[in-house]
Every structure is written in structure tokens, then in C-alpha cells.
Amino acid sequence: MRVRTEALGLGLLARPDDALTHPGVVIVHDVWGLGDLYRSFARRLAEAGFAALALDLYRRDVKIEDPGRWMRELSDPDVLGDVAAAARLLSGHAAVEGKPVGVVGFCMGGAYALLAASGVPGLSACVAFYGLLSHEHGILHAPDLDPAKKPRDPLRAASSLGCPTLAIYGDEDEFVPASDVRALEDVFATVPHDTEVKVYPGCGHAFLNEARPAAYRPEPARDAWQRMLEWLRRYLGT
């Protein structure tokens, strides 16, 4: 399928190059920003029949020296406001025009995808790839965490899920403890929406990232991408 791309104020939109309408997907990048990887993900989603907006959370030049500190100091309400604005933009765009909109995120973006699915109205599906889960330990933990910027972590927010949600992890993820993933499964069992947690053996963090050879796992990455497409098609349509 031919793809058309256009720069929008909130990021890069990739969509099928036709006159039809398509379900929308907001893509939330990792801590390093809207790089080539996420632009390519947007184009791949467009080739699969979606109008995909790769959100640029920063929209300015930034210098990140300590990714953990950077994430801890980001305002979750502000980021979720951007996700909500991106979902509204997609819903009103000629390529979507009211068709369902979902959210997909990776690493930091996976955490925000889970938070969005639990607090941004109007989303119809969520897929979170190795999203950080807890403020209790790991990279998001800090004794001086600002509650105004970090009101609740994705693990606690997940009890308020508003749409079907698929969460994907590797069993060797150095940033997301297996205990957090098991806790997420327990929370998912309590919500009134379809949910699934898929854990890939032998995979660590960022195993879909082709630009990081040490992390990339081609076969699991292909399977996880296909699993995501099936989830989005099931709940957003085509």
C-alpha cells in the first residue's frame, strides 16, 4: 500500500495514500524522542491500513544526559494532554473522520500509552511495549518524586482502563521487574475490558528497536508487531 506522510504540529502523520478513511493510531516514542525508528513505525502502520500519528512530545531540541531523571521530571498530565490532543487531531482529520483511534507506545511511551488508556477519553485500543510500570522501584523511583508531575504510576492507573489493552514485555527486561508484570496481570484480571499480557522469553528491554543490535530480537519483534496489528484490527477495524 502506498503511504503519504505529512508534518503536523504534534508530529508526523503517515497514512494510506488514498481517499478512504482509516482507523487512527497515536504512537508515543521512547525517552529519546521522535527518531527515525518511530517514523518508520508510523509508515509501517500506514502500510497496514492505519492513519498513524507519531507524536513528538518534545517539539524542540533537547539534551538528555540522564534518561531516568528526565523521565522522572516529565509532567505526566502535560504528556497525557498531548496524547489527548493527538487523538482529537486524528479523529477530526480527513484520513480518519471519526473512525476509532487507539494508542501505541514504547518504553517511556509504553508507560504513557497505559496511562492514556486509563485516563484519556475516546481511545478504543491500546498496545504498550515494555512500558515502565511502577514508582516503587526501578528507573521511575525517586524519594523526591513530584506528585503533581507523577500523580499515579501505570500499574495503579491500569485499574481504570477504558479500552482493550495489550501489554508486551520481555522476560529479561532490566527496567521492568517480572514482579511488576505479574502485578499488571493481576490488575488486568479486574477490569471490564479485554486485556492481555504477552511476555517473550529471552528478550530484554527495547527488543523491537532495530537500531540497537544488542537489544533487537528479530523473530520476537516480528511476532510482537503482528500481534499488535491483530489487536488494533480487532478493536479499531481496518
* Count of residues in the chain: 238
pLDDT interval class at 210 (50, 70, 90): very high
**For residue 102, what is its C-alpha cell?**
487507539
Instruction: Note the pLDDT of residue 238.
Output: 79
Residue 20's nearest CA partner among 102, 97, 92, 76 is: 97
| Consecutive H or E run containing 81 | helix 76-92
- Structural domains of the chain in order of their starting residue, each with its CATH number: 3-236 (3.40.50.1820)
Instruction: Note the pLDDT of residue 138.
Output: 84
Instruction: Note the pLDDT of residue 189.
Output: 97
pTM for this structure? 0.97
pLDDT above 70: percentage of residues in the chain: 100
Scan for cell 484490527, then name that residue: 233
**For residue 64, what is its C-alpha cell?**
538528555
Pairing of strands 3-8, 11-16: antiparallel
Pairing of strands 51-55, 195-200: unpaired
Asked if 163 contacts 188 with a C-beta cutoff of 8 angstroms, the reply is no
**For residue 137, what is its C-alpha cell?**
522501584
Please give the span between the terminal C-alpha atoms of the chain, in angstroms, as a whole number.
Answer: 13
Per-residue pLDDT tens for 14-41?
A: 999 999 999 999 999 999 999 999 999 9
The CA-atom distances, in angstroms, between 132 and each of 97, 124, 159, 187, 210 are: 32, 21, 16, 15, 20
- Supply φ then ψ for residue 165, to 5 degrees: -135, 130
Asked if 151 contacts 182 with a C-beta cutoff of 8 angstroms, the reply is no
Instruction: Note the pLDDT of residue 128.
Output: 98
Per-residue pLDDT tens for 66-123?
A: 999 999 999 999 999 999 999 999 999 999 998 999 999 999 999 999 999 999 999 9
Asked if 100 contacts 236 with a C-beta cutoff of 8 angstroms, the reply is yes
Scan for cell 475490558, then name that residue: 193
Asked if 142 contacts 171 with a C-beta cutoff of 8 angstroms, the reply is no
The span from the CA of 153 to the CA of 19, in Å, is: 40
Sign of the torsion angle spanned by Cα atoms 159, 165, 171, 176: negative
| Consecutive H or E run containing 109 | helix 108-117
Instruction: Note the pLDDT of residue 63.
Output: 86
pLDDT interval class at 125 (50, 70, 90): very high
